[in-house]
Amino acid sequence: MIITPMQQSLISHFGEMGSRWGLNRTLGQMYALIVLTEQPLNADQISDALLISRSNVSMGIKELKSWNLIKLQHIPGDRKEYFSAPKDIWEIARTLIIERRKRELDPTLSTFRDALLQDPANEADKYTQQRVQDMHDLMEMVTIWSTELQNMSSDKLSTLLKLGSGVGKILDAKDRFLSK
């Protein structure tokens, strides 16, 4: 498993960014390696390439599996497991959106609902509930969006994103449009 300088610099960068995304350095590096390599890789190859222990790779794979970010493959005549990333970058993006929502939004939404069901004990609680209500409504809408994206084909997702700076125009004319 030889890594080119270009790959190395990208892998390092993903490592540094890894922690800013909910992952960690090693996980970022592992995923970069898998995404940037055409052939599926086995755990030993990953361990060699990134100079990390075999057991660390095993834990990393477990985590990447829990994120649904890797595909598992078998090569005939080889007992090792091989890992690869989806070739469709939109599929990866979609998965990331879904998984981040699960981890970052869903638990909070549920906590918000609990708080809103309680009787406010005093003025402070009343104010708190107002704010929670606002945050709840916002997060719920983001959730609806992400569900929509989840069920969207790569083509459609791509079209939507390319709409980019056209969003404003659509909104300006939305009423006219929706009334047709």
How far is Cα 150 from Cα 96, in angstroms, rounded to an integer?
10
Q: Which range, of 44-52, 53-61, 69-77, 127-135, touches its own copies by CB under 8 A?
A: 127-135
Query: Which residue, 45 or 129, has its beta carbon nearer to DNA?
Result: 45
Q: For residue 112, how many other CB atoms are within 10 A of its CB?
A: 20
Token code pair at residue 40: 């599926």
Distance of closest approach, residue 3 Cβ to DNA, in angstroms? 16
**156 contact choice in DNA, its own copies, none (CB below 5 to 8 Å, kind-dependent):** its own copies
Token code pair at residue 34: 């898998």
Query: Which residue, 60 or 136, has its beta carbon nearer to DNA?
Result: 60
Contact between 174 and its own copies per CB under 8 A: yes
Distance of closest approach, residue 81 Cβ to DNA, in angstroms? 4
How far is Cα 46 from Cα 89, in angstroms, rounded to an integer?
21
Contact between 98 and its own copies per CB under 8 A: no
β-strand 81-84 against 41-42: which pairing, if any?
antiparallel
Binding site for DNA (CB under 7 A): 19, 24-27, 42-44, 51-56, 58-59, 61-62, 78-81
**179 contact choice in its own copies, DNA, none (CB below 5 to 8 Å, kind-dependent):** none
55 class by beta-carbon count within 10 Å (0-12 exposed, 13-18 middle, 19+ buried): exposed
